[in-house]
Amino acid sequence: MKRSNIDMLHGGIAGKLLLFALPLAATGMLQQLFNAADVAVVGRFAGKNAMAAVGSNSPVIGLLVNGFVGISLGANVVISRFTGQDNKDGISKTVHTSVLFSVLGGLFITLLGELVAPLILNLLSVPAEVFPMALAYLRIYLLGLPVIFLYNFESAIFRSQGDTRTPLICLVISGIINVILNLFFVCIVGMTADGVALATVISNAVSALLLFILLCRRNDYIKITVSKIKIHSNVLKSMIKIGLPAGLQGMVFSLSNLCIQSAVNSLGADVMAASSAAFNIEILAYYVINSFGQACTTFVGQNYGAENIGRCRRVARISLIMDIGITAAASLIMLAFGTRLLGIFNSDPAIASIGIVRLRFILAAEVVNAVMEVMSGAMRGYGYSVVPAVITFIGVCGVRIVWVYSIFKVSQTFFTLMMVYPVSWIITAAALTIAYMRFMRRFLPT
């Protein structure tokens, strides 16, 4: 397993960034493809209302998950920094704290989510014909949050050592199980949205268990020893200090998407289904973007721990160039095959014609999103997470909420609604770039 680790402190940068980022991007893509299988199975075998029910939950689930995923990035940075410092005790304490915190946090969010699930869907204006299936899907999915959070923290532990392949392999295994169970529950048992939710929970439990077993069998400093699993308060504070702003930054995207999803729901079931299908395609490009942002965070974290600021600067610069280039290529390919890809989810031509509008707006501006991810990722690697979170809150969430309740209210069309994505990205990317440049000049002068 150690052969999967990447030496981030010495040698060339570009090739190692690629070795780190590509398996991470593949992990995100496969995860989304397996989620897309949920939408495709219900769309093909249970109808467009079931498809809309699954799609309407995407922003809700993103909001619930992103906060703890952000804190897992905090664990990644803390372990990376300890690795750069060769602090073996710090690495071990962070690993064991991460495992317990993820499960306890998952249980808390599950209980809270089950209490407010109907209220959330009502706030999203989910239509009456979709509501029962959407609620069933959400309630079952919530039960799986402890293992979903555990998987993300375990993955962060592996990533901190430069190993992005092991989580990918475990995801492939659990994803295949997910697809098989989707077909079984929907086509054989006769379930609808609740069937794909159950399949998702079971498959996530498998991936979390596999990573846990592998960590228990390690013979290095990220090895899990069950008797050592406990919360170390000083380590947890560091994780939260770095990770909570990152989590809030992710939640801001989800909050703004909740607002947009509510507007999408007001346009009817066809638009809901089309938007859901397009989202499951465009998100693949985002995982490319995000993989380089996370690579930048991890590489900067280790080199900052080793006090090699010059290498940190080079990591950020190379990450940005590579992210923009690869994202542009991926977006162009998806746009070229957009209509055919939408047809996988639903054969209705009307849904495809609506979905392609969303794809054109989102994919054409994804390179701007790449700038946002790398700038934020670099600052997180230094442990500087608050300012990126605040800028994202204002530039993304603020702009989108104002847009929905002003411009969209005047012109209630899908075209008008989709314009908010490139507008909010451009504003936020510009602000993050300025903040990064000021941070480097003020706190880390050459």
pLDDT given for residue 445 in this prediction: 64
Q: How far is CA 207 from CA 122, 139, 152, 186, in A?
A: 32, 21, 10, 22
All residue ranges of the chain with pLDDT < 50 are 1-2
**How far is residue 62 CA from its own chain's centroid?**
8
pLDDT value for 342: 87
For 144-268, where are the alpha helices, taking DSSP H only? 145-160, 165-183, 193-216, 233-265
> Which stretches of 46-186 are DSSP H helices?
48-56, 58-85, 88-123, 131-143, 145-160, 165-183
Structure tokens at 295: 């690579």
User: What is the pLDDT, as a whole number, of residue 221?
Assistant: 84
User: Domain extents for the chain?
Assistant: 2-443
Question: How is residue 420 written in tokens?
Answer: 């908010």
CA–CA separation, 168 and 42 (whole Å):
26
| Radius of gyration from C-alpha coordinates of the chain | 21
How long, in residues, is the chain? 446
Identify the pLDDT of residue 1.
44
Cα–chain-centroid distance for residue 221?
A: 27
Contacts 24+ apart (CB under 8 A), 425-429: 425/365, 425/368, 425/369, 425/372, 425/396, 426/365, 426/368, 427/395, 427/399, 428/372, 428/391, 428/392, 428/395, 428/396, 428/399, 429/368, 429/369, 429/371, 429/372, 429/375
CA atoms within 13 A on the CB side of 122: 4
Q: How far apart are CA 352 and CA 281, in angstroms?
A: 12
DSSP state of 230: -
The helix (run of H) or strand (run of E) holding residue 33 is: helix 14-45
Between the CA of residue 166 and those of 68, 110, 314, 363, what are the distances in Å?
21, 27, 27, 29
**Does residue 5 sit in helix, strand or coil?**
coil
Which tokens go with 261? 């999803």
**DSSP letter string over 393-436?**
IIIIIIHHHHHHHTHHHHS--HHHHHTHHHHHHHHHHHHHHHHH
Phi/psi of residue 174, nearest 5 degrees: -70, -30
Phi-psi region of 87 (alpha: psi -120 to 50; beta: other; left: phi over 0): beta
What one-letter code names the amino acid at 339?
Answer: T
User: What per-residue confidence (pLDDT) applies to 39?
Assistant: 74
Tokens found for residue 90: 């710090």
CA distance 362 to 428: 15
